[in-house]
């Protein structure tokens, strides 16, 4: 492969581990995202941030009730997806990694998702799954961005590529017919991905992953958004419906628009 040494290193890391955790490309853009989140949270909860922004977000469980969480989350999701610059900010934070791991002609998920996981809350669980099990394309990656430190049970887990044979055995066993039983079979082999504020995660969404009850003392805030090379095969989530092209190059535009003489 005609890659630079840095590109070869990143490629090998992603293929071996199934993920990469690196610093965001621009901390100033991340700070703008934090400002947007604090503003939306203040507007939704009607409670002002009177401490540091990180303390406000980490301790939001002290000012909201679990039964109101999903409404608050959906209001914030709508707010970030209506913001005219938010998707651009998100893409730019991951661009250097995406250029190497996915390519430079990209399709991006049209709506960015948000997870808010309060301490000891079992209503916000994402059971073990791989996105490809439900029809997603194996050519997709997930860009996972925390806006607080995510550690211990306050983060997500991933089954690494070298442990996938376990899943083959689980799927052929009639005893393991639900997500919880599958997790119990793989729980000793999953990796808990500790990610600090200022870092970003790209992972292979065909690997089993999920979260558990957040047993830490702080609230988890994390976003996720899928990217893929625009000309690779699509699964159930189609271009124009779920994905939107964001970086089509001039030669591709010429090719798409080309018509043979006389047609």
Q: For each of the chain's 263 residues, which pLDDT tens digit applies? A: 789 999 999 999 999 999 999 999 999 999 999 999 999 999 999 999 998 999 999 999 999 999 999 999 999 999 999 999 999 999 999 999 999 999 999 999 999 999 999 999 998 889 999 999 999 999 999 999 999 999 999 999 999 999 998 888 877 776 666 888 899 999 999 999 999 999 999 999 999 999 999 999 999 999 999 999 999 999 999 999 999 999 999 999 999 999 989 76
Task: Tell me the percentage of the chain whose pLDDT exceeds 90.
Answer: 87
Taking the C-alpha atoms of residue 188 and residue 186, their distance in angstroms, rounded to an integer, is 6
Q: Which helix (H) or strand (E) holds 197?
A: none
- Residue 70 corresponds to which tokens in the numbers above? 């999903």
Pair 184, 13: CB distance under 8 Å: no
Contact 69, 123 (CB under 8 A): yes
User: CA 144, CA 92: separation in Å to the nearest integer?
Assistant: 13
Alpha-carbon torsion angle 103, 141, 235, 190, nearest 10: 150
Q: Determine the pLDDT at residue 169.
A: 80
Only one residue has tokens 């209001």, namely 75
**CA pair distance 58, 44, nearest whole angstrom:** 16
What three-state secondary structure class fits 130?
Answer: coil
Distance CA 217, CA 102 (A): 36
Say how far apart CA 84 and CA 92 lie, in whole Å: 14
pTM for the full model? 0.94
Alpha-carbon distance 63 to 45, whole Å? 8
Closest CA to 113 of 136, 134, 86, 151: 86
């Amino acid at each position: 492969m005609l890659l630079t040494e840095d590109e070869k290193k990143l490629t090998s890391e992603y293929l071996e581990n199934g993920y990469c955790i690196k610093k965001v490309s621009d901390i100033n853009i991340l700070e703008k995202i934090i400002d947007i989140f604090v503003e939306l949270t203040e507007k939704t909860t009607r409670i002002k941030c009177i401490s540091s922004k990180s303390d406000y977000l980490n301790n939001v469980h002290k000012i909201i009730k679990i039964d109101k969480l999903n409404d608050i989350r959906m209001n914030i999701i709508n707010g970030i997806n209506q913001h005219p610059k938010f998707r651009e900010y998100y893409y730019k934070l991951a661009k250097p990694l995406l250029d190497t791991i996915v390519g430079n002609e990209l399709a991006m998920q049209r709506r960015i998702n948000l997870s808010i996981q309060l301490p000891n809350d079992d209503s916000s669980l994402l059971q073990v799954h791989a996105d490809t099990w439900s029809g997603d394309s194996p050519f997709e990656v997930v860009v996972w961005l925390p806006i607080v430190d995510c550690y211990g049970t306050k983060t997500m887990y991933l089954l690494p590529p070298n442990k996938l044979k376990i899943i083959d055995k689980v799927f052929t066993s009639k005893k393991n017919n639900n997500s919880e039983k599958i997790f119990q079979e793989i729980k000793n082999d999953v990796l808990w991905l500790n990610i600090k504020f200022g870092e970003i995660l790209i992972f292979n969404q065909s690997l089993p992953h999920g979260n558990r009850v957040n047993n830490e003392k702080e609230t988890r805030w994390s976003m996720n958004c899928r990217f893929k090379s625009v000309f690779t095969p699509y699964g159930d989530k189609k271009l124009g419906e779920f994905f939107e092209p964001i970086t089509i190059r001039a030669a591709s535009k010429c090719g798409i628009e080309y018509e043979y003489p006389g047609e």
